[in-house]
Structure 1
Amino acid sequence: MPTVIDVPPTDPRVAALLDAQEAELTALYDGDPTQSEPFDPRTLAGEGSVLLAVQHGPELIACGALRRWDAHTAEVKRMYTVPQARGQGRARRVLNALISRGRALGYARLVLETGDRQPDAIALYERAGFTRIPNFGYYAGIESSVCYELPLVDERTA
Structure 2
Amino acid sequence: MLHIAFESPNQPEIIALIADLDAYQLTLYPPEAVYALDLASLLQPHVKFAVARDADQAIVGCAAVVLNPGYGEVKRMYVKPEARGRGAALRLMALLEQAAREAGCPLMTLETGPSQPEASALYERQGYARCGPFGDYRDDPLSVFMQKRLA
Contact 2:37 2:76 in 1 (8 A): no
Deviations 1:35-68 (A, max 9, x none): 2114223323333321001012232101101012
Q: 1:137: how far off?
A: 4.3
1:67 counterpart residue number: 66
TM-score (norm 2): 0.91
What secondary structure is seen at the aligned counterpart in 2 of 1:112? Answer: strand
1:117 counterpart residue number: 115
The reply on whether 1:2 has 2:2 as its aligned counterpart is yes
Deviations 1:92-122 (A, max 9, x none): 1111111122112211111100000111100
The reply on whether 1:86 has 2:84 as its aligned counterpart is yes
2:53 counterpart residue number: 55
What secondary structure is seen at the aligned counterpart in 2 of 1:80? Answer: strand
What secondary structure is seen at the aligned counterpart in 2 of 1:46? Answer: coil
Q: 2:36, 2:77 → 1: CA distance? A: 15
One-letter amino acid matched to 1:22: D
The reply on whether 1:20 has 2:20 as its aligned counterpart is yes
Contact 1:47 1:68 in 2 (8 A): no
What secondary structure is seen at the aligned counterpart in 2 of 1:77? Answer: strand
Contact 2:14 2:59 in 1 (8 A): yes
Identity of aligned residues (%): 33
TM-score (norm 1): 0.87
2:147 counterpart residue number: 149
What secondary structure is seen at the aligned counterpart in 1 of 2:89? Answer: helix
What secondary structure is seen at the aligned counterpart in 1 of 2:124? Answer: helix
Match of 1:45 among 43, 46, 50: 43
What secondary structure is seen at the aligned counterpart in 1 of 2:16? Answer: helix
Instruction: Label 1:105 to 1:138 Cα distance change in 2 as closer, same or farther (>3 A).
Output: closer
Structure 1 stretches lacking a partner, 5+ long: 154-158
Structure 2 stretches lacking a partner, 5+ long: none
What secondary structure is seen at the aligned counterpart in 1 of 2:133? Answer: coil
Q: 2:6, 2:36 → 1: CA distance? A: 23
Q: What is the number of equivalent residue pairs in this alignment?
A: 150
1:126 counterpart residue number: 124
Select between 54-63 and 34-43 the one with higher mean Cα deviation: 34-43
Contact 1:37 1:138 in 2 (8 A): no
